[in-house]
């Protein structure tokens, strides 16, 4: 195993499955392999195909929600009363509605995340954890991991299994949608601007997508909020310029957490970009469509039908992936949710309106939070969701400076979807690949970037 693990790490480096190190997150002088599993994880073929098949419907759903201001107002009314961050985003959304959208081209790069809920009869059902409409990561590195697991399985004498590792190239699919939006924008001089975080450990994941765009002779630039604050402006036609260059597409890889907005100037920069003619990925209404509160409201009876009238099969396909979701709004329904959670906290997950991993609340901590907020409107900043119970699988998690130990592991399947709409016309709507992340079953929450989960590949059976 030690020998195999060493060879696996070399294979990861060889194939570019890399991250910058914690100590120097903004320098590529020293890098390490991105954490990954030694072996691919078995995943039932039927549920895997189900997740791929429903993705284009999820793309359509997100896009329809983003175009329905009444629904967003209604869904988020209680949340924006108590959650400052969501309220600030909603204020920008309202200003854009008031002024009128400058750009009719909409670009969506989404990732819908699932776990397999183990049934009593041993079969498993696909249950959605969340949909990410903002900075959905690891499309780049997950395009490089299949070759790593193929090599490991060959070295372990598992030739037949090595040939069953699926090709997977989300990076090309994500870049294809960005390229389509850039092309529709219609200026060859204009650039695609990646709006990036201050610390950029996960730069290679994004570089994979940049590389695909450069292959198409599309210029990409990486800018921080500070650059937009200093040099960003709109001309009389609302075209966005940053550092003197016209921006065709703003691809947000930063701006989904309160701590990303360090000052009022940062919020002004976000508003400037939203008001501009540049295509935003996501635009502000699509950002709001990805909130946990919207996810919970969608699970109410009759709500999906609003977006898919006369399409019962589509509604059924989407609804089949919903886990139990419960409101914490003030009133009898919210009171009932508080009661069921306090009575049996281990059955649930308490979720705030936050992205980026590491935010969810479990077990006895649910009781602590709910006891504190149960009688106040503050509870409406959260939603409650059924805890999903996947079957654990034994594997080795390869991580820098961590000993090689066999672990009980749980996996989460992400499916990447892209769409481009121009006015009323859906120009593109595709499922472009998948991501499997695996973690030690003792860790409750957190993604790869948060340092808990590791990259993986499905081995279908």
Encode pLDDT of 28-43 as tens digits: 999 999 999 999 999 9
Which residue in 351, 374, 407, 421 is the catalytic one?
351
| Cα gap 282→181, rounded to integer Å | 12
Active-site hit among 110, 137, 285, 395: 137
Judge whether 385 is annotated as a binding position: yes
| pLDDT tens for each residue of 190-202 | 999 999 999 999 9
CA nearest 296: which of 318, 317, 330, 327? 327
Known active-site residue 437: yes
Q: Is 445 annotated as a binding residue?
A: yes
Catalytic residue selected from 130, 161, 210, 212: 130
Six token digits for residue 435: 């991501």
For the entire predicted model, the pTM comes to 0.96
Strand-pair category, 31-33 with 36-37: unpaired
Instruction: For residues 199 and 26, give the distance between their C-alpha atoms in angstroms, rounded to a whole number.
Output: 6
Predicted pLDDT at 318: 98
Reported as a pLDDT band with limits 50, 70 and 90, residue 446 is low
Query: Of residues 9, 20, 111, 150, which has the active-site annotation?
Result: 111
For position 284, what pLDDT does the model report? 98
Active site residue 224: no
Annotated catalytic residue 355: yes
At a CB cut-off of 8 Å and minimum separation 6, what does 461 contact? 42, 43, 44, 45
User: Is 356 considered catalytic here?
Assistant: yes
- Look over the chain and give the mean of its residue pLDDT values, rounded to a whole number: 96
Residues 133-161, mean pLDDT to the nearest whole number: 98
Domain ranges of the chain: 2-323+398-460, 324-387
User: Please, is 11 exposed, middle or buried when counting C-beta atoms within 10 Å of its C-beta (0-12, 13-18, 19+)?
Assistant: buried
Q: Is 45 assigned a catalytic role?
A: no
Catalytic (active site) residue 111: yes
Q: Find out whether 357 is annotated in a ligand binding site.
A: yes
Q: Are 265 and 227 in contact (CB under 8 A)?
A: no
Question: Distance of CA 309 to CAs 54, 60, 355, Å?
Answer: 17, 13, 30
What distance lies between CA 244 and its chain's CA centroid?
Answer: 31
Residue 60 has what pLDDT? 98
The answer on pLDDT for 224 being more than 80 is: yes
Question: Known binder of ligand: residue 362?
Answer: yes
CATH number of 324-387: 3.30.1490.50
Q: pLDDT tens-digit profile of 382-406?
A: 999 999 999 999 999 999 989 999 9
pLDDT confidence of 181, banded at 50, 70, 90? very high
CB atoms closer than 10 angstroms to residue 65: 23
**160 a catalytic residue:** no
More confident site: 426 or 401: 426
Catalytic: which of 356, 363, 446, 451? 356
Residue 341's pLDDT is what? 96
440 labelled ligand-binding: no
Burial class (CB in 10 A: 0-12, 13-18, 19+), 414: buried
Is residue 137 flagged as an active site residue? yes
193 preceded by a cis bond (ω within 30 of 0): no
132 labelled ligand-binding: yes
| Local structure of residue 93 (DSSP, 8 states) | H
Give me the mean pLDDT over the 282-310 stretch: 97
Smallest CA-to-CA distance from 390 within 42, 119, 117, 126 is with: 117
Residue of 59, 110, 355, 421 marked catalytic: 355
Q: Within 13 Å of residue 65, how many CA atoms lie on the same side as its CB?
A: 32
> Does 16 appear as a known binding residue?
no
Is residue 381 within 8 Å of residue 353, measured between CB atoms?
Answer: yes
**255 closest CA partner among 134, 138, 174:** 134
Q: What is the largest CA-CA distance in the chain?
A: 65
């Amino acid at each position: 195993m030690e020998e195999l693990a060493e060879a696996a790490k070399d294979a990861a480096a060889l194939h570019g499955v890399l991250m910058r190190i914690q100590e120097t997150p903004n320098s590529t002088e020293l890098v390490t392999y991105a954490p990954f599993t030694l072996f691919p994880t078995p995943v039932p073929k039927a549920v895997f195909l189900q997740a791929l098949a429903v993705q284009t419907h999820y793309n359509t759903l997100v896009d329809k929600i983003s175009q329905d201001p009444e629904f967003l107002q209604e869904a988020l009314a209680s949340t924006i009363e108590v959650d400052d961050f969501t309220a600030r985003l909603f204020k920008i959304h309202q200003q854009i509605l008031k002024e009128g959208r400058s750009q009719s081209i909409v670009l969506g790069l989404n990732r819908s995340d699932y776990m397999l809920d183990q049934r009593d009869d041993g079969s498993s059902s696909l249950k959605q954890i969340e949909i990410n409409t903002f900075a959905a990561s690891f499309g780049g590195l997950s395009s490089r991991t299949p070759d790593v697991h193929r090599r490991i399985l060959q070295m372990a004498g598992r030739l037949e299994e090595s040939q069953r590792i699926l090709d997977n190239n989300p990076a090309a699919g994500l870049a294809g949608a960005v390229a389509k939006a850039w092309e529709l924008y219609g200026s060859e001089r204009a650039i695609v601007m990646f709006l990036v975080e201050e610390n950029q450990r996960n730069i290679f994941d994004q570089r994979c997508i940049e590389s695909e765009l450069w292959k198409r002779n599309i210029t990409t630039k990486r800018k921080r909020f500070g650059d937009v604050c200093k040099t960003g402006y709109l001309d009389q036609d609302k075209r966005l310029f940053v550092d003197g260059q016209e921006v065709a597409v703003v691809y947000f890889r930063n701006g989904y957490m309160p701590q990303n907005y360090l000052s009022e100037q940062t919020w002004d920069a976000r508003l400037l970009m939203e008001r501009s003619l540049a295509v935003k990925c996501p635009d502000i209404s699509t950002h709001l469509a990805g909130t946990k509160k919207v996810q919970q409201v969608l699970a109410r009876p009759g709500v999906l039908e609003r977006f898919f009238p006369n399409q019962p099969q589509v509604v059924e396909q989407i609804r089949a992936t919903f886990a139990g979701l419960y409101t914490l709004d003030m009133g009898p329904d919210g009171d009932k949710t508080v009661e069921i959670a306090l009575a049996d906290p281990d059955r649930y997950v308490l979720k705030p309106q936050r992205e980026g991993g590491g935010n969810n609340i479990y077990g006895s901590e649910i009781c602590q939070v709910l006891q504190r907020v149960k009688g106040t409107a503050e509870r409406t900043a959260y939603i409650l969701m059924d805890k999903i119970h996947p079957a654990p699988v034994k594997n080795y998690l390869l991580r820098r400076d961590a000993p090689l130990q066999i672990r009980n592991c749980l996996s989460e399947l992400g499916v990447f979807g892209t769409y481009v709409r121009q006015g009323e016309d859906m120009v593109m709507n595709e499922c472009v690949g998948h991501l499997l992340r695996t973690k030690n079953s003792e860790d409750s929450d957190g993604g790869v970037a948060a340092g808990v989960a590791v990259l993986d590949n499905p081995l279908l059976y």
